[in-house]
Amino acid sequence: MRLRLSTSPVLKKASISDHKCDAQDTILRNLDTGQIWPHFRLTTSVLVAVMRAIFLAFVLFLVTAATASAQFRIGIGGGARSTMPIAVLEFEPANSASAQHARDFTKVVRQNLQHSGTFTVVNGKDYPQTSAEFLSQPDWRAWRKSDAKVIVTGDVSVSGSTVQATYHIYYANSRTHKLSEMAEVRLSQWRELAHFVSDVVHLKVAGIDGHYASQIVFIAEDGSATSRVKRLAIMDQDGHNIRYLSDGSSIVLTPRFSPEGDEITYTEINSGRVRVILRHLVTGQQEVLETAEGTSTFSPRFSPDGRGIVYSLALNGNTDIYYMDLQTRARERLTMDASAETSPSISPDGRKVAFESDRTSGQQIYVLDRQTGKVKRISIQDRARYATPVWSPDGQWIAFTRIKDGEFAIGIMRPDGTTEQILATGYVVESPTWSPNSTALAFARQERQTGDGTVKTRIYAVDLFERREWPLPTTSEASDPAWSPRLARN
Amino acid sequence: MLKRTAIAIFAPLVLAACDPEVQAVEQDLVVAETTTTQTTPYYQQQTVLGQSQGQLGVAGQQYAAVTGQSAYGLTNPYGAQISASAVSSTQFSNGPSQSGLRADVGDRIFFTTDSSTLDPRGTGVIDQLGAWMRQYPSTRIRIEGHADERGTRDYNIALGDSRATSIRNRLLQLGISADRLTTVSYGKERPVASGSTPTVWAQNRRAVFVVL
């Protein structure tokens, strides 16, 4: 980790300080000294694949102009379903060598913000000014007439092997300057810089963290329907930077991140056994979770405190839900039914376990209270099958897969089963997974097969508020997504 | 035998005319089964094997073109296996190998949607499998449970496990020692046929016996 410290003020453009800034403090933001991810920080030198996403490479200086006068809080938490129109001006290239990166950088930031459920990015053609024009002399009157309430602008400068972005946030209506910062990163990591800037904008304007500095672990699929090759893979939340973690020699399914983001657990079918595997992303070490003979274990998921794994164990044809403490390796059986119980998910407070069971006629979702041992069914429609409950990180929702009249759907409901809403449908849609800020879901959608041996399955995401859906551009077919926790902090 | 062949040829046309509902396939299966039984029990038709397989193959081509899967491309997921069997109840002649098992007993049975219950036909095959294992006492088999694509991944692993175990339990009842049997579920991960039609689903809802 090499830190390049600069003592010179970052902001050189006189125009910025001309705007309404109540105070200007120079703050050195060095994420390396932050209280985040101590584990990862210690092991960075060994890590390439996972760590490359990360913040620690950022050397960040910033000058904050703190104008707290306008604080937008949108949708989430407030309940309102409106998005904030935002203009992301084309970032100015500092020199001709920066032109392509400036364009790409702008594109990534726009796409990120559009995929938040928080913002609507106003079409670039409708901007009254370019970045250069705005930064030399903002035409507030023109901006007030445009749809944009928030203006993001700045420049991108490539020099040698580093790339630098200066970025500013303004509010059009109040003509206020919200923030100016500069961040720098190795050129090869320019996408992370764009994600980082997107996160800053999300946090500063919406008041909550974005999900841009996160990753998705998933199953990359190749081959025909009858000889499918499945590999563990990890990508950035926008579908880029795919890395493969397994070679396809065994069937791998349903990977999930630990709450720290440094481990995954998944199901592997190999040599006639179905087993839960625990794998450390930094060291690459892996182990079989449950070694008891005659058992099949699958559908693992970390507890939110990271201390244990909840999973399904099949013994003598009966599948029930178990919890294993990773320290003591003590195994606790959570369900005792002759029916099939699977797809468990522990609530963020650790007190409840949502799972699916076919104890009545078809699959339905139940919630177990770990203190009282009481089980309550929460999905209410008898005509539909409900599966794969997943608690949102903020505890407000349970995402699920619903199969009704042969049609698959991804939806959300409150933990008491009320307020059911369908967000996506398809021939087979399943494996919902929450963005770390609980504002979006990723899931897999398999198309109806034509019978020529191909299987089309891709990962999509949808935001909760506008229900805009977008595909993740994986290079192969893809399934079983699982979103990581947030990997950085602003 | 003539009757059987006629059904086999006719089957793809029947299917094509049907509304693609599971119901249609189930009915189709029943028709095939009933008629077959009228001729000779399906497990006593060894002599039919070569010839009828050839004809089934021709008949199946039309459907195979649709599914892209020729091995089990007929409406009846048992396919040619119906005709494979033993001449008398416990004399198996093809040896204690996978191919021997396939020729003498068949290497798979099928299930209805979301069920791991053995139907009469499946039970008949398992009973033959039990006899086969008694005749070849050194054999060990792995029972692989599978499901079609129309369920969630986790649930289908549980379902496949339940299917494999129902066969294991039947074999235990028949006196086969537990240490000769292992089970594994592949859920919906290893279909034998590709496509999204009732016929394909029916072929994929199966348990397969693998001689270890």
Between A90-104, A313-327, A373-387, B52-66, the lowest mean confidence (pLDDT) is in B52-66
The domain total for chain A is 2
> How confident is the prediction for chain B on average, in pLDDT?
72
Contacts across the A-B interface (CB distance below 8 Å): 125
Closest by Cα among A297, A230, A227, A302 to A267:
A297
Residue among A298, A388, A431 minimizing CB distance to B157: A298
Contacts of B57 (CB under 8 A, 6+ apart): B70
In this complex, the residue of B152, B189, B197 whose CB is nearest that of residue A228 is: B189
> Is there a single domain that holds both residue A123 and residue A227?
no
Q: Which residue of B has its CA nearest to A428?
A: B150
Q: Are A80 and A34 in contact (CB under 8 A)?
A: no
Residue A244 and residue A176 share a domain = no
A359 touches chain B (CB under 8 A): no
Is B194 within 8 Å of A299 when comparing Cβ atoms?
A: no
The better pLDDT of the pair B55, A186 is held by A186
Q: Nearest-CA residue of chain B relative to A387?
A: B152
> Per the structure, how many domains does chain B have?
1
| pLDDT of B22 strictly over 50 | no
Q: In CATH, what number is assigned to the domain containing residue A436?
A: 2.120.10.30
Mutate to test the interface with B, among A226, A275, A343, A385 (most CBs of B within 10 A): A226
Report angle CA A41, A45, A46 to the nearest 5 degrees: 110
Pick A31 or A339 by higher pLDDT.
A339
| Cβ-nearest to B154 among A251, A342, A427 | A342
Is residue B69 within 8 angstroms of chain A, CB to CB? yes
- How far apart CA A132 and CA A134 sit, in angstroms, is 5
Are B161 and A296 within 8 A, CB to CB? yes
pLDDT digits (tens, 9 = 90+) for A66-104: 333 233 333 333 344 578 999 999 999 999 999 999 999
Residues facing A331 on adjacent strands: A324
Greatest pairwise CA separation for chain B in angstroms:
48
B101 contacts: CB under 8 Å, gap ≥ 6: B94, B107, B129, B132, B141, B209, B211
Note whether A425 and A316 are same-domain residues.
yes
DSSP annotation string for A261-313: SSEEEEEEEETTEEEEEEEETTT--EEES---TTEEEEEEEE-TTSSEEEEEE
List the single range of A73-87, A369-383, A437-451 with lowest mean pLDDT: A73-87
Average pLDDT over residues A166-186: 94
- Confidence band (pLDDT; 50, 70, 90) for B90? low
Is there a contact between B166 and A317 if contact means CB atoms under 8 Å apart?
A: yes
| Residue B80 lies in domain | 2-211
Q: Which domain holds residue A263?
A: 215-483
Does A405 contact B at CB distance below 8 Å? no
Interhelix angle for B22-39 vs B2-17, to 10°? 170
- Put simply, the answer to whether B190 touches A228 (Cβ < 8 Å) is yes
- What confidence score (pLDDT) does residue A116 get? 86
Interchain CB contact of B21 with A (< 8 Å): no
What confidence category does residue B133 fall into, taking pLDDT thresholds of 50, 70 and 90?
very high
Boundary-marking domain end, from A206, A238, A263? A206
**Is there a contact between B149 and A446 if contact means CB atoms under 8 Å apart?**
yes
Residue B152 forms contact with A (CB below 8 Å): yes
Distances (CA, A) of A462 to A381, A432, B62: 24, 10, 41
Residue A274 in domain: yes
CB nearest B155 (choices: A273, A318, A363): A363
Quote the minimal CA–CA distance from A61 to chain B in Å: 47
Residue A347 lies in a domain: yes
The domain that contains B39 carries what CATH number? 3.30.1330.60
Greater confidence (B19 vs B189) lies with B189
Domain's final residue, options A206, A229, A263: A206
Quickly count: other Cβ atoms within 10 Å of residue B90's Cβ.
Answer: 11
Residue B142 pLDDT > 80: yes
Contact by Cβ (8 Å): A217, A241: no
Q: Does B75 touch chain A (CB under 8 A)?
A: no
At B46-63, the pLDDT tens digits run 333 333 333 333 333 333
Residues of A in contact with B200 (CB under 8 A): 449, 451
Residue A482 vs residue B44, higher pLDDT: A482
Contacts B169 to A, Cβ<8 Å: 317
Q: Which of A314, A453, A480 is nearest residue B194 as measured by Cβ atoms?
A: A453
Determine the residue among A271, A319, A345 to mutate to test chain B binding: the one whose Cβ has the most chain B Cβ atoms within 10 Å: A319
B 157-196 residues with CB below 8 A of A? Answer: 157-159, 161-162, 164-166, 168-169, 182, 184-187, 189-196
Chain B interface includes A274 (CB < 8 A) = yes
Beta-strand runs (E) in chain B = 108-110, 141-146, 181-187, 206-211
Q: What is the predicted ipTM?
A: 0.83
Q: Is there a single domain that holds both residue A165 and residue A237?
A: no
Residues A316 and A189 in one domain: no
**A392, part of any domain:** yes
pLDDT at residue B9 in the model: 37
Instruction: Looking at the structure, tell me whether residues A248 and A174 fall in a common domain.
Output: no
Residue B70 in contact with partner chain A when CB distance is under 8 A:
no
Whats the size of chain A, residue-wise?
A: 490
Q: Are residues A227 and A199 in the same domain?
A: no
CATH code assigned at A47: 3.40.50.10070
> Which positions 106-125 of A are in contact with B (Cβ < 8 Å)?
none
List % helix, strand, coil for chain B (3-state, nearest 5): 55, 10, 35
What single string gives the DSSP state of each residue in A118-164? SEEEPPGGG-SS-HHHHHHS--HHHHHHSS-SEEEEEEEEEETTEEE
How much is the average pLDDT of A420-449?
96
Asked, for residue A318, whether it belongs to a domain, the answer is yes
Q: How far is CA A200 from CA A204, A306, A404, in A?
A: 6, 27, 41
**Considering CB atoms only, which of B114, B152, B189 is closest to A269?**
B189
Same domain, A195 and A242: no
pLDDT at A488: 64
Which chain A residues are within 8 Å of B190, Cβ to Cβ? 226, 228, 251
Report DSSP state, residue A205: I
Residues A158, A305, single domain; the answer is no
Q: Given A189, A206, A223, which residue is the final one in a domain?
A: A206
With respect to residue A489, please indicate whether it lies within any of the assigned structural domains.
no
pLDDT in tens, A203-251: 999 999 999 999 999 999 999 999 999 999 999 999 999 999 999 999 9
CB atoms A272 and B182 under 8 Å: yes
pLDDT attached to residue B77? 65
Q: Are A133 and A152 part of one and the same domain?
A: yes
Which residue is closest to A407 within chain B, CA to CA? B150
The token pair at A245 is: 């973690």
Q: Greatest CA separation found in chain A?
A: 75
- CA nearest B204 in A: which residue? A226
Which chain A residue has its CA at the smallest distance from B22's CA? A406
B62 vs A433, more confident: A433
In this structure, is residue A373 part of a structural domain?
yes
- Given a cut of 70, whether residue A323 has pLDDT beyond it is yes
Return the number of other C-beta atoms located less than 10 Å from residue A73's C-beta.
14
| Residue B169: per-residue pLDDT | 97
**Which pLDDT value is given to residue A387?**
98
Among A274, A427, A446, the residue with its CB nearest the CB of B184 is A274
Mean pLDDT of all residues in chain A? 84
pLDDT > 70: percent of chain B:
58
- Same domain assignment for residues A221 and A112: no
pLDDT at A290: 84
Verify that A305 and A220 share a domain, yes or no.
yes
pTM of this structure: 0.79
